[in-house]
Structure 1
Amino acid sequence: MKQWWKSGSPWIWLNGGAVSISIIMVFGLLALILVRGFGHFWPHNVVSTTFVQPNGEVMQVIGELRKSETLTAQSLREAGLALPADQVLATRHLFKMGNRDVTGRDFVYMVDNFLGEWTYPKNIAVFERREWGDFYGVPARLLESGQTVAEGDALWADFQRRLDRSNRLFDDIRRIERHDIGNVNFRLERVRLDQRRAELRGTLTPEMEREFAARRQALDQEYAAIQDRLNALLADVRRDAIVMQVADGREVTIGLDRIVNAWQPNNMSAVSKVGFYIKSFGDFIFGYPREANTEGGIFPAIFGTVVMVLVMSIIVTPFGVLAAIYLREYAKQGPVLKAVRISVYNLAGVPSIVFGVFGLGFFVYVLGGAIDSTFYPEALPAPTFGTPGLFWASLTLALLTLPVVIVSTEEGLARIPSTIRMGSLALGATKGETLWKVVVPLATPAMMTGLILAIARAAGEVAPLMLVGVVKLAPTLPIDGNFPFIHLERKIMHLGFHIYDVGFQSPHAEAAEALVYATALILVLLIVALNLSAIMIRNRLREKYRAEGD
């Protein structure tokens, strides 16, 4: 046994076991996110059953079973439920009943003892609505301008055709509101700022005033024409409605303009469920959020995360590489350089929220305020860059990840053999030529490694971004067709903050649970995609310079 301990084998087994446990934990977490995240989009069957209320009345229940759990019967008796005295365990089920605007609550726990027989009627329909969450019920009549046009067996097919038409009209409405009207408003604001700028400079003439008035009048006429077209579409999209019968027998009329998607899960085949699943996943990726981010898609959050990481990479890479080159190749060795290196290493351990506070105080208020007073005085007191936005969020993350890039680049430069430097100098190259044409290209893979680590950390950060540019809901994307096309001053959405907001700030925790897993899944996949792209570039550069060296 002593010989076995002296051989070092126990430490090998200990390290191997620790690595194995770590891998199992990582893959277990990923498996949990995958199952819960991908399961969010599957059209689950809807249950119809009865529930005996405490007062003895029987209530009809229509809903989707979300989860079941087994509890001790004593804990439920303490909660006021009348369970048999000899019962030890009891099962309760969480049903998503929807219809929040009708019943006031859309998730209810029900104990199995008080539930009747479970059935799955094929005529139950589920509506995904733009407001008030999902709706469960049985279609009764289809209305057009208040008149019944379909009922019975022919109702569902006609309803699907009209719903497709309604969604196309709604997409046109949203396109007009977000793009056409937004473009006119943007140009109107430019006219106002141009006139204000001329007033501040003292160059405003009567001719210029007439020109500004003419531009404003032309834009007002364009806006009026767009508004007329929008009003016509709004009137058209509100034409159709459907009457639904809910669990207690009441009839509720729902306009088709309020419905995003509709399906009958109990009447769907496996193939149709797979098709619905793919469509729902696509809508989640490319759609816009609704209902305080608890419904709809996450495209603005994905777009904001990618753009922020790209801008951060463009900022941090040259600064980090140049700083590392100076520290390794040009700086004089001594106590000052040691102090700088210690500061860089300590900077990597500073909590991220401290960077957020610094970014808010220095970047936003000091630099942003100076930029506004120098280049955008006509917009004051409304800030342009003196408020949190995309550029300041990217700059704060660049400062946060700068030590990683510096250290990785320095290590890459240190691994270049001195014989390569001496060979280049012996052939007549200057120190600068040796550095930029020989040493730096060979150290490029190490620089890319630093960038990969920076991307992995920056994409998942949340705390500093809450202070310097990320918001709960951003009405417009930071890139559009208006000059200068990339609007670095705008606020953005972010997947990490979206997860925090939905998971901890949502008024409907049960509805948000599945969405949190789905968003976390997309964030993990996005980070993997960004890292794989950087790794492919690094490997290509490594093979390129290896081939040139051979």
Structure 2
Amino acid sequence: MKKYFRSGEIFIWFTGMGLGLSLIMITGLLFLIVVNGKDYFWASELVQITRTDGSKQLGEIVKEEPIPNLNLPDSLWNKGLMRMQMKIGNRDLYGFDFQWIDEREIKNTDLPKFASTIERIEFGNFYGFVKEILVDGDVKVKGEEEIAKKIGSYLDITSSIRNEIKDIEKSKIGKINYNIESLRLEIKKIEFRDKNSVKNKNEIARLESEIAKENRKYEMLKMKVDSLNLLASRYAVYCEDANGRGKTIPMINIVRVYQPNNMSFLEKLGFTLTKIREFIFDDPRESNTEGGVFPAIFGTVMMVLLMSIFTVPFGVLAALYLREYAKQGPLVRTVRIAVNNLAGVPSIVFGVFGLGFFIYFIGGTIDQLFFPERLPSPTWGTGGILWASLTLALLTMPVVIVATEEALTQIPRGMREAALALGATKWQVVRRVILPAATPGILTGLILAMARAAGEVAPLMITGVVKLAPSLPFDSYFPFFHLDRKFMHLGFHIYDVGFQSPNIEAAMPMVYTTTLLLILIVVLLNITAMIIRANLRKKYKSATF
């Protein structure tokens, strides 16, 4: 046994066992996320429960669990009674989305063929039966089979109207608002300098006339939006819940209507693909608990790329100086210890530093020097994607420095000496020999930095991330990249929906799906960097590895 320990073979087994446990835990975590998030994309069956008192309830069965004995009378202990949580929707009728139903209350259950799930822009899902399609208040289609065939064509009409309204509001009206704000700021700039000169007075008058033109354009577009809303209001559906309680829903407020109990597997698969596309490319709605997460995806990826642009050059330069240029001694060792200790500082501390240094000091100074006419409303002296990226660059800098230094130590000393012997300068050796050979190690540091930065939330909460950003940091207006804007982030989106949502139970599928998406984005970013690293490692294999 003693000989067995000395050989070290047992430690190899322990290492393999640790790796196996890690893989099992990671797989289990991903499985848990997928299982809990799949209901967001899948067309779940609608179950109608008839209670012993004759009332009915229609909805999706979310989970079932045994009733604790403490909640049962002594005569029913250890009977294995169950209760189920049902998502009943119809928040505007009932005031809540979920209800627990005791097994003892259930008389029978069935799956009504024409039970419909109506996804709405507001108030969540409506579960019930579509009885009539109304146009201008008159019944145009009646009968569940006829409605199932024709409702799609009516929804296409209202959907196109809704998309046209959205396009006008976001693109055309958005451009007018942008122009008006730019003109208003020009007037403020002139008034800040000197508004009494004849030249400035004429310029202000010209700018005010431009604002008046933009306002007239706005009024015309507003009239067009009002007319489209009036057109859309002609179409509505009359629905009833399981107990016959009626509700008229304007079609402009309906995203889709489907009958999950009447759908084949292929139809449900097509529905899932549609939901996935909506989740990735659409904007959020209903307090971020429904719809898509495209602004959060864009903000996360852009922030990680900006962080990488800032952290890699400075991290590599710091590592090069410490390894190649600095005289090794107590001071350099102290700097290395400080860098290593920075990697263990809580992320919220970096967030507070970013708030104080980047936002209040640098941003506030920029506002005072270049945008004094806009004060007290800050331009750069408030949270934005630039300051958040710089804060995370500081957070991940130690990782890049340490990884780069490790890569530099692996380069054989003979390569340096050979290049110097051939007459190369120190900088030529660094640029032509050392940096190319160390690039795979530098990319390893970048991979670790991106993985950490993509999942950080605490520093972002005080440096620029918001619940809902009215516009992306990138658009068609010059200078195109607006680094002073606030942004959305998948990590904060998970926190907000999971813990700050007014209806947390209804938002849980969104939490799990967003978590899975964040993991996939991190993996894709890492795989991209790994592919580049593998190609570079193969290129310099003969010299470094």
Matched, 1:242 2:237: yes
Any conservation in 1 of the 2:49–2:58 contact (CA below 8 Å)?
yes
Query: Matched residues in 2 for 1:15 and 1:205: separation?
Result: 76
Partner secondary structure for residue 4 of structure 1:
helix
Find out whether 1:253 has 2:244 as its counterpart: no
Q: Secondary structure at the match of 1:486?
A: coil
Aligned to 1:105, the other structure's residue is in SS state coil
Q: Give deviations 1:374-407, integer Å, cap 9, x for gaps.
A: 1111211111111111111100000000001111
1:192 aligns with 2:184: yes
Alignment partners' CA distance in 2, 1:305 and 1:36: 23
CA distance in 1, matches of 2:18, 2:407: 29
Distance 1:389 1:549 in 2: 41
Partner of 2:86: 95
Paired position in structure 2 for 1:501: 496
Aligned to 1:454: 449
The aligned amino acid for 2:103 is: D
Opposite residue 9 of structure 1, the aligned amino acid is E
Alignment-derived partner of residue 489 in structure 1: 484
* 1:128 partner SS: strand
Deviations 1:246-291 (A, max 9, x none): 1221111000011111100011111111100100111111111112
Distance across 2 between alignment mates of 1:59 and 1:75: 27
Amino acid at match of 1:127: I
1:70 corresponds to: 66
Counterpart CA distance in 2 for 1:545 and 1:375 is 48
1:158 is aligned to: 150
Alpha-carbon deviations, 1:395-440, whole Å to 9, x = none? 0000000001111111111111111111111111111111111111
My pick for the range that moved more, 136-145 or 32-41, is: 32-41
Q: Summarize the alignment of residues 408-423 of structure 1 with structure 2, pairs less than 5 Å apart.
A: 408-423=403-418
2:509 is aligned with 1:517: no
Tell me the equivalent position of 2:365.
370
| Aligned mates of 2:181, 2:427 — CA distance in 1 | 50
Residues 307-456 of structure 1: matches in 2 within 5 Å? 307-456=302-451
Do structure 1's residue 477 and structure 2's residue 468 form an aligned pair? no
Superposition map of 1:117-196 within 5 A: 117-152=108-143, 153-196=145-188
- Report the residue type matching 1:383 in the other structure: P
TM-score, normalised by the number of residues in structure 1? 0.95
**1:531 and 1:175 mapped to 2: Cα distance?**
36
Structure 1 residue 61 corresponds to structure 2 residue 57 = yes
- CA shift, 1:206, in A, is 2.8
Could you list the runs of 5+ residues in structure 2 that have no partner in the other structure? none
Pairing of 1:283-294 with structure 2 (within 5 A)? 283-294=278-289
CA RMSD of aligned residues (A): 1.7
AA at the equivalent of 2:214:
L
Aligned counterpart, 1:28? 28
Moved more, 494-503 or 38-47: 38-47
Change in CA separation of 1:533 and 1:86 when aligned onto 2, cut-off 3 Å = closer
In 1, the alpha carbon distance for the partners of 2:306 and 2:224 equals 38
CA distance in 1, matches of 2:236, 2:398: 59
CA distance in 1 between counterparts of 2:542 and 2:160 reads: 55
1:484 partner amino acid: P
SS at structure 2 position matched to 1:483? coil
User: Structure 1 regions of 5+ residues with no counterpart?
Assistant: none
* AA partner of residue 381 (structure 1): P
Task: Sort the Cα spacing of 1:496 and 1:86 in 2 relative to 1 into closer, same or farther, 3 A.
Answer: closer
2-structure distance, mates of 1:251, 1:200: 60
**How far apart are the structure 1 equivalents of 2:433 and 2:16?**
40
365 and 25 in structure 1: CA distance in 2 versus 1, 3 angstrom threshold: same
Amino acid at match of 1:390: I
Q: Structure 2: which amino acid aligns with 1:10? A: I
Matched position secondary structure for 1:346? helix
User: What secondary structure does 2:468 align onto?
Assistant: coil
Partners of 2:442 and 2:10 in 1: how far apart? 37
Q: How far did residue 459 of structure 1 move?
A: 0.3
Secondary structure of 1:118's match?
strand
Q: Determine the C-alpha separation between the residues in 2 that align with 1:290 and 1:481.
A: 24
**Partners in 2 of 1:87 and 1:136 — Cα distance?**
35
How far did residue 86 of structure 1 move? 6.2
> Partner of 1:109: helix, strand, or coil?
strand
* Distance in 2 between residues matched to 1:85 and 1:263, nearest whole Å: 41
Q: Distance in 1 between matches of 2:49 and 2:35?
A: 28
In 2, Cα distance between equivalents of 1:51 and 1:307:
53
After superposition, the C-alpha distances for 1:486-521 in whole angstroms (9 at most, x for unaligned) are: 111111111111111111112222211111111100
Change (3 A) 1:440 1:42: same
**Displacement of 1:124 after TM fit?**
0.7
Determine what percentage of the aligned residue pairs are the same residue. Answer: 48
Q: Structure 1 stretch 506-515 or stretch 362-371: which is displaced more?
A: 506-515
TM-score calculated relative to the size of structure 2:
0.96
Aligned residue pairs, count: 541
**Which range moves more in the overlay, 121-130 or 8-17?**
8-17
Shift of residue 84 of structure 1?
Answer: 5.3
Q: Which amino acid aligns with 1:182?
A: G
- 1:18 aligns with 18
Q: Which letter maps to 1:119?
A: D
Cα distance in 2 for residues equivalent to 1:368 and 1:170 = 40
Secondary structure at the counterpart of residue 50 of structure 1 = strand
Change (3 A) 1:3 1:294: same
- Counterpart amino acid of residue 225 in structure 2: L
CA distance in 2, matches of 1:420, 1:379: 57
